[in-house]
Amino acid sequence: RQAGNWYPNREIYPEGLKPLGDALREMGLGFTLWVEPERVYPDTQLACEHPEWLLSVPGDASYLFNLGNPEARRFLTDRISALIAEAGVTCYRQDFNMEPAGAWQAADAPDRVGMSEIRHIEGLYAFWDELLARHPGLIIDNCASGGRRIDLETISRSVPLWRSDVQCSLDFNPIAMQTQTQGLAPWVPLSAGCCRSPDRYSFRSALGPGMVVIWTTRALEERVDFPERLPLARELLAELLRVRPYFYGDFYPLVPFSLSAKAWTAWQLHRPDMGEGLVLALRRPQSEQTRLESPLHGLDPSARYELQNADTGEVTVASGSELLEKGVCIDIAERPGSALVLYRQVG
């Protein structure tokens, strides 16, 4: 209920956020600042000083900060920009946990239906554009209750590091990460999956350009000493860094989209500029299928490719034409289980 007090709490941060930002920078770390600027609660500083900038939300105790008001937007831009500059923020995370439609509809004139929403969203884009212009290199993390604001305009300015609130649950199903990736990857090149358990199947289910790992909570829940898991955790993170460049390439689903626990999911990531890529296959917990055979895509039929099984280290060589026509054959004995094949052009 402090949303609307956009100033550091001086009891906790007597010198503001600068000492924290300085310490992080000295350690070579970035700084993510998490703010929900469009939501304002009663009795906060903003609600008391500028009620004319707020729209009432039917059925909600909070107000909607009206980004369609140019004066209000200038204030918010200056305020958030000052926080970013003070703390040396490298990633500005904007959340949005309310239903705004009622506020916009109530503010519309009868002959101007929809204009409040249009002006607000235009203001949002202008707000982000100004922050990016003032702070070169700034990353904007677009949350909005987890993935509820992923569109062509927002992804041109931001990245969704928390794609859905489905992974708020400690025991969320990794199939959710698999299907999010398959659904988003053709349209949204940059996003982050979430892994709550340091096991290979869960981790590979969340592979992407970025990843959120929340392992210590899971270890406590299972009464497991986290240090026992560190060797595997390090191995998995090294694998993420190894394959991450491929997520900037072309995405090819190798099986149809499915939410079923009896299915497989698999896709190919191909970097034509590098002549490299990967095939990731995931056998879900109730699948009776032990083998996947699928042709690959985007390869040079006249070239030869070296394929390496990331788990066994086994290396094979095949022609591009063979891989395009017959493809790869992947066996997964465990369920759930995973397989990762890396390939590169060798001639």
Among all residues, which ones are annotated catalytic? 95, 165
Q: Specify whether the CB–CB gap between 189 and 209 falls below 8 A.
A: yes
Distances (CA, A) of 230 to 45, 55, 188, 199, 312: 45, 49, 32, 11, 21
